[in-house]
């Protein structure tokens, strides 16, 4: 009996490992690739917005060379193109910049869930990644590095909870490449949704 309880405790202790950094999410290609793509997204955004800051996958809890996969590169490239549309929204940027790097999990989850409250598309997925990027970037620049893995774990939880089945229906993360022609429309929709979500976040602080 004690042995079985011990075994259960070990399993519980092991479960969060992959979620915490993303690098150990095994036996689930959707979550594992989602973590790799998110890290790639963060790295590319930092390269664009703060080129003097050199960040690697390992800095974000990933594996060396994980961004070298050409499929990952293609997915990240398409997500960045959608994000560029989001970044042109000055009000969005002003609001996102007010999100604190130490925001509580329940606040992040509320905002993230609201992004997908009335539908899922690639623009909304990018809105989630964009929000996570801002928190990760603030963690890097304010030297709260422990927050990076925490934010990645929150994103993976939202992927599991809200968009897992949808990603599978798109044929995996590479579905964003095939749906590329619609990115501008969905990005505009996503920017509106994200603004609304951040406004909600501010009201709940």
State the average pLDDT for the chain. Answer: 78
Q: Is the predicted pLDDT of residue 140 greater than 80, yes or no?
A: yes
Q: Is the predicted pLDDT of residue 7 greater than 70, yes or no?
A: no
Task: Write out pLDDT tens, residues 78-111.
Answer: 999 888 876 776 655 665 565 666 678 888 888 8
Asked if residues 115 and 193 have their Cβ atoms less than 8 Å apart, the reply is yes
pLDDT band at 124, cuts 50/70/90?
confident
The set of residues, in sequence order, having a beta carbon less than 8 Å from that of 142 and lying 6+ positions away, is 101
Going from the C-alpha of 145 to that of each of 32, 58, 85, 138, 201, the distances in angstroms are 21, 12, 28, 9, 23
Task: Write out pLDDT tens, residues 23-72.
Answer: 444 468 999 999 999 999 999 999 998 999 989 999 999 999 999 999 99
> Which residue bears the tokens 């293609």?
74
Q: What is the pLDDT of residue 113?
A: 86
Q: What is the pLDDT of residue 16?
A: 37
**Token pair in block for residue 110:** 């509320």
Residue among 42, 34, 71 at smallest CA distance from 161: 34
**Predicted structure pTM score:** 0.77
């Amino acid at each position: 009996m004690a042995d079985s309880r011990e075994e259960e405790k070990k399993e519980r202790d092991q479960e969060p490992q992959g979620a915490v950094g993303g690098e150990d999410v095994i036996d689930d290609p959707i979550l594992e690739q989602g973590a790799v793509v998110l890290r790639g997204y963060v790295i590319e955004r930092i390269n664009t917005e703060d080129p003097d800051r050199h960040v690697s996958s390992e800095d974000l809890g990933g594996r060396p060379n994980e961004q070298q996969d050409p499929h990952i590169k293609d997915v990240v490239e398409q997500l960045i193109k959608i994000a560029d549309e989001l970044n042109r929204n000055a009000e969005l940027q002003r609001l996102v910049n007010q999100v604190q790097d130490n925001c509580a999990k329940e606040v992040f989850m509320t905002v993230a869930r609201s992004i997908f409250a009335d539908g899922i598309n690639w623009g909304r997925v990018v809105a989630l990644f964009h929000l996570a990027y801002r928190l990760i970037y603030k963690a890097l620049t304010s030297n709260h590095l422990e927050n990076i893995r925490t934010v990645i774990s929150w994103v993976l939880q939202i992927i599991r909870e809200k968009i897992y089945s949808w990603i599978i229906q798109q044929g995996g993360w590479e579905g964003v490449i095939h749906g590329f022609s619609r990115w501008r429309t969905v990005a505009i929709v996503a920017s509106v949704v994200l603004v609304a979500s951040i406004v909600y976040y501010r009201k709940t602080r």
